[in-house]
Structure 1
């Protein structure tokens, strides 16, 4: 399974498959977010799996523990490899997510979202974290997720090494906000190149708009993949 996931953030399901058809039967790893899942549901997941694609379902489940357990159980009956929940849901909710996963058919790895890459230090202050830095907040959430028994976390590349030190090397860290140096930052504040992510020990990366909006998406995908592998 390729460790670079392409975020299929399109305006329609048809655009998703038009993009994937450019790869001429090649199986790639893809991320399905809330917008596409709410539009196409389980049928989209089944279709992608039948085509041989590896699926990261990024729904960031966050609710009372019982609700999350029931939701994750249902989602774990889909052929997905990774599923996200929010670390801010707390220890009990994270453990409930694991219970739900274990009852499902496919047992995806559970990744807890720490702080979004669109979150800045100023936003953290606005949310009431006035005496906690972005790094400290992220590490604290990652340690809680590790203690809860989830498989890994989603975090900015800038916190990966500290997370590894606070947990262990087997604890997965998936890094979004990946851009080449010349790319527009969009709404992402804490970004990094694929090569930087590799140097900082990221295990998985997600790339969206820089690939799917490129004039030559397949060529751009290969460029990101090369930078990540090298």
Structure 2
């Protein structure tokens, strides 16, 4: 099956490179709702995250619909299983033509290596990232509920090093750990940071958060923004406000 082209047409104008570094989380439950947001935001970014909520409701068709409009998809399913299962799943995701997808670093070195190998022969190889510590988890949860003695910051850096050793392209981590990851893993290691909330939006259910400008200053390559844009009365205006904030860095 021929891989869909990632960039096709633009209704208004293509976004600039700065805007493309803002990934919009399409946390909705239907293709129609997702496409409506994509159409409103393509002027500012072509980078969109499809997570469990949307993918499990709409299936692979929503990825094709986004790419047909000129968007590129970060598929956020956080694969976490035995190495053989994750390797097979990774190969299938790669064939969808996605830009990036992720696995859980806590699945271990062999699991991450299998994911990396599985996509190595795809013509348009997607970037494979490792999820380190969810932004909803803090030191207390790690210690008291998950039995991890390290702090969240130390655990993130340790898992990032493991992901690099496995041959993955980068990690998903809180903005708070971006600088330490950069120092440990080098300039070419991709850092994608969720937990990004503008000062004019509440923290929601995330604990280790930062503003868009702060996340980039700390070393993020890409930031993920969801509800502050997608649930705003005017998503385009909210996105424009974020772009203006990061333009003056």
TM-score range, shorter chain: over 0.9
Secondary structure, aligned partner of 2:176: helix
Aligned equivalent of 2:88, options 53, 67, 70: 70
Q: Which runs of 5+ in 1 are unaligned?
A: none
Q: CA RMSD in A?
A: 1.5
Does the CA-based 8 Å contact 2:29-2:57 persist in structure 1?
A: no
Q: TM-score, normalised by structure 2?
A: 0.88
- Aligned residue for 1:124, secondary structure, equals helix
2:74 paired with 1:91: no
Tell me by how many angstroms 1:17 deviates: 1.9
Residue from 175, 178, 193 that aligns with 2:196:
178
Q: Distance in 1 between matches of 2:45 and 2:175?
A: 26
Partner of 1:160: 178
Change (3 A) 1:26 1:195: closer
Q: 2:29–2:58: 8 Å Cα contact kept in structure 1? A: no
Helix, strand or coil at the partner of 1:107: coil
Give the match for residue 128 of structure 1.
Answer: 147
Aligned with 2:242: secondary structure? helix
Q: Give the number of aligned pairs.
A: 229
Per-residue CA deviations over 1:108-149 (Å, capped at 9, x if unaligned) read 0001000000112111111001x3111111110001111111
User: Structure 1-normalised TM-score?
Assistant: 0.95
> Which residue in the other structure is 1:20 paired with?
38
Alpha-carbon distance between aligned partners in 2 of 1:99 and 1:24, rounded to the nearest angstrom = 33
| 1:56 correspondence with 2:74 | yes
The answer to whether structure 1 residue 34 and structure 2 residue 38 are counterparts is: no
1:47 to 42, 65, 80: 65
5+ unaligned residues in a row in structure 2: which ranges?
1-16
- How far apart are 1:23 and its partner, in Å? 4.0
Q: Secondary structure at the match of 1:22?
A: helix
